[in-house]
Amino acid sequence: MFRFPPLRRAWRVFALAAVILALTAGCGGSANDKVKVDMGIATFAQESVTVKAGQAVRFVDPDYGGGVHVLCVGTDLKCVSQPGTPAGLDGADGVTFNPGDARDIVFATAGSYDVVCTIHPGMVVTVIVQ
């Protein structure tokens, strides 16, 4: 049987290119992409994140080490009203996260927002919205 090794090699390269294209499709950084903020027992893994207006931030309190957190925009364990703050993070009660919880919060208005935990001193992440 006659074989065409160069053709077979070309087919493999084409198939690999198709797989890479399929895996990277949609990775263009649209406003619908989410930025992840991880919570530990009493800290955020990130000090700050930058998003575009209308982009979601996914806050994650993992099963394996997260604690209970109450998040809001504020300072020094207190919620402070700030124009443009996303719903839930703007109230005096904040948003409660239990271990295993993950929520997407959309930041629609440009600005800088300090998201704090009202339970854990010094637990703050700054969300910069462009």
113 domain-assigned: yes
51 domain-assigned: yes
| CA atoms of 47 and 64, how far apart (whole Å) | 21
In terms of residue numbers, what domain contains 49? 34-129
Q: What is the DSSP track for 41-56?
A: SSSBS-SEEEE-TTEE
pLDDT digits (tens, 9 = 90+) for 114-123: 999 999 999 9
| CA atoms of 90 and 100, how far apart (whole Å) | 23
The per-residue pLDDT for 67 is 86
25 domain-assigned: no
pLDDT digits (tens, 9 = 90+) for 23-42: 333 344 444 578 999 999 99
Tally of domains in the chain: 1
Local confidence band at 5 (pLDDT 50, 70, 90 cut-offs): low
pLDDT digits (tens, 9 = 90+) for 39-93: 999 999 999 999 999 999 999 999 987 789 999 999 999 999 999 999 989 988 9
Q: Residue 83: which CATH number?
A: 2.60.40.420
22 domain-assigned: no
